[in-house]
Amino acid sequence: MTNFDISFYKGKRVFVTGHTGFKGSWLCKLLSNVGANVSGYSLESPTNPSLFNIAGIAQDVYSVIGDIRDYKALKEAFDAVQPEIVLHLAAQPIVRDSYKNPVYTYETNVMGTVNILECIRNSTCVKSFVNVTTDKVYLNKEWSWGYRENEELDGFDPYSNSKSCSELVTHSYKNSFFYDRDIAISTARAGNVIGGGDFANDRIIPDCIRAAINNKDIVVRNPFSTRPYQHVLEPLYAYLMIAAMQYQNKKYADCYNVGPDDVDCFQTGALVDLFVSKWGNGISWVNCYDGGPHEANFLKLDCSKLKSTFEWRPHWNLDKAIDMVVDWSKCWIEGKDIRVCMDSQIEAFLKA
């Protein structure tokens, strides 16, 4: 591993957009645990229940509830804390929802990126910015090898395409406004994440957990689609590594794929089989394609650049990741202390 020590964040002022979401909540807990001064700007938690509320993340951060589309409110929150490091996670993240409400998706994912970059452009405090996008930014040709960072950007659906636009906006701002300033800017394109506390609709692991709790069959829309699955702590650690390394040396500012090794690019049906085996209680799943809108069938990332640049490797394989999902979920169902569970999983991850 390149000389990244997560204790770098102790005392650092970190601003997280989208902090009330699933990934944002885990990120805030991770940063808080290592002593960062974390501020967040986001809408209210997008799900009910929500990890942000269940885990009491508000006690770990200075939390401002606001819309990323509202530049004035965002800048007020931003200016109040004068962050050194900004991690941009705020987004409308659901493919199917983007078909239902494309205008909101583009406003949030594109103009939200413009707004946070405007805050940075009109400040002098920020040294490091990472825009979190998605593996779906690439023009998907349904080929069997992983996409590299120099492949064409052209997401198909409104969500994926808006994230492609977010990448282009970031690149334009970087060239137009930051090339001669001491501000390092990167984008991180992550694969599908799983983990305890994801309650989103139209995501396979939350669907599995809801079905298991209600003693129903798990409905799988497309068991033969292939995706790069990873535990949520994997990309979060990578984002923090990129942000820290480029903070110290601007040469690391770039675009990076963040995904699992090839062995953890699973067909959805195989992923559900693994979940079923870990959960127990005789649950099962059914193939039930519902005729929904287009989604990519085969998608894989080539993460050689992240690995060669930072000597990075995934901490947990998918088998271990599912263990962690089941452990967290049963902790929640049984009414145990979620914060203790998260602390335990974060500690185990950092020791891996």
Averaged pLDDT, 28-40: 98
pLDDT of 148 reads: 97
**Nearest Cα to Cα of residue 84 among 49, 129, 119:** 129
pLDDT of amino acid 257: 98
Reduced to 3 states, what is the DSSP secondary structure of residue 131?
strand
Please check the confidence at residue 297 and state whether its pLDDT lies above 80. Answer: no
Mean pLDDT for 16-40 is 98
- Is the pLDDT reported for residue 340 higher than 90? yes
Residue 291 has pLDDT above 70, yes or no: no
- Of the candidates 311, 302, 193, 314, the residue with the CA atom closest to the CA atom of residue 252: 311
Cα separation of 120 and 211, whole Å?
43
Mean pLDDT rounded to a whole number for the chain: 95
Q: pLDDT > 90: what percent of the chain? A: 86
Mean pLDDT of 68-90: 98
Q: What residues contact residue 180 under an 8 Å CB cut-off, 6+ apart?
A: none
Cα–Cα distance between 78 and 84 in angstroms, integer?
Answer: 11
Taking 80 as the threshold, does the pLDDT of residue 296 lie above it? no
Please give the pLDDT value at position 222. 84
Task: Give just the sign of the alpha carbon dihedral 13, 16, 20, 21.
Answer: negative
Residue corresponding to tokens 């659901």: 94
Q: How far apart are the first and last CA of the chain?
A: 12
pLDDT of residue 42: 98
CATH code of the domain made up of 9-351: 3.40.50.720
Average pLDDT over residues 116-127: 98
For residue 1, pLDDT over 60 is answered with no
CA–CA gap between residue 16 and residue 41 (Å, rounded): 6
The pLDDT of residue 264:
87
Work out the pLDDT band at 290, boundaries 50, 70, 90: low
Of 235, 231, 204, 206, the C-alpha closest to 317 is 231
**Which two three-digit tokens encode residue 294?**
């287009």
Q: Which residue in 130, 155, 95, 140 sits closest to 300, CA to CA?
A: 140
> Angle CA(37)–CA(197)–CA(13) in degrees, nearest 5?
10
pLDDT tens by residue, 223-238: 888 888 999 999 999 9
**Residue 83 near residue 126, CB atoms below 8 Å:** yes
What is the rounded radius of gyration, in angstroms, for the C-alpha atoms of the chain? 19
Tokens encoding 91: 């987004």
pLDDT (average), residues 37-44: 98
Instruction: Single out the residue of 179, 156, 160, 187 nearest to residue 86, CA to CA.
Output: 187
Say how many C-beta atoms besides its own lie within 10 A of residue 5's C-beta: 11
